[in-house]
Amino acid sequence: MIFLVFAVALLASGLSSSSVGTYAGQVVMSGFIRRSIPLVVRRGVTMLPALVVLSLGLPVTESLVISQVVLSFGIPFALIPLVLLTRRADVMGPYVNRKSTTAIAGFFAVVISGLNLYLAGSAVFG
């Protein structure tokens, strides 16, 4: 029974995180380029790589791990600008981070980026 509960929870969390990512991407794209990408193109870009991996018969678990390593390369490119922008009063107004918050966030951004480099190195070089 616990496996069924875990499976349903995992499915629900995957669906919710996917929808949040989709909506965030849609808002960012419409805000930056002021145009909409056709639905067929969006679905093709998101589904085609997975279909290629499956059709080639590549090991699914290894492919998933490699895809997560590749995705982890983007984390520093999100964290570092986030820390830098949230410390600026001209950007954040009254919601600007305190110096202590910025220092703690900067520390964790460096630690997480370092761990990502270690992960990438161990995935590539064994």
Q: Is the CB of residue 70 less than 8 Å from the CB of residue 119? A: no
The rounded distance, in Å, linking the Cα atoms of 112 and 93 is: 27
Structure token digits, residue 34: 């002021």
Q: Is 42 contained in some domain? A: no
Q: Is 23 contained in some domain? A: no
Residue ranges making up the domain that contains 94:
73-126
Structure token digits, residue 114: 């370092």
Among 24-33, 44-53, 81-90, top mean pLDDT goes to 81-90
Per-residue pLDDT band at 71 (split at 50, 70, 90)? confident
Q: Is 121 contained in some domain? A: yes
Q: Is the CB of residue 93 less than 8 Å from the CB of residue 70? A: no
- The tally of domains found in the chain comes to 1
pLDDT at 32 over 80: no
Q: Is 18 contained in some domain? A: no
Look-up: residue for tokens 């849609």? Answer: 26
Q: Is the CB of residue 112 less than 8 Å from the CB of residue 82? A: no
Classified as helix, coil or strand, 11 is helix
Q: What is the pLDDT of residues 2-29, one digit of tens each?
A: 888 988 888 888 888 777 877 887 777 7
Q: Please tell me the pTM assigned to this model.
A: 0.60
pLDDT at position 90 is 93
pLDDT at position 47 is 83
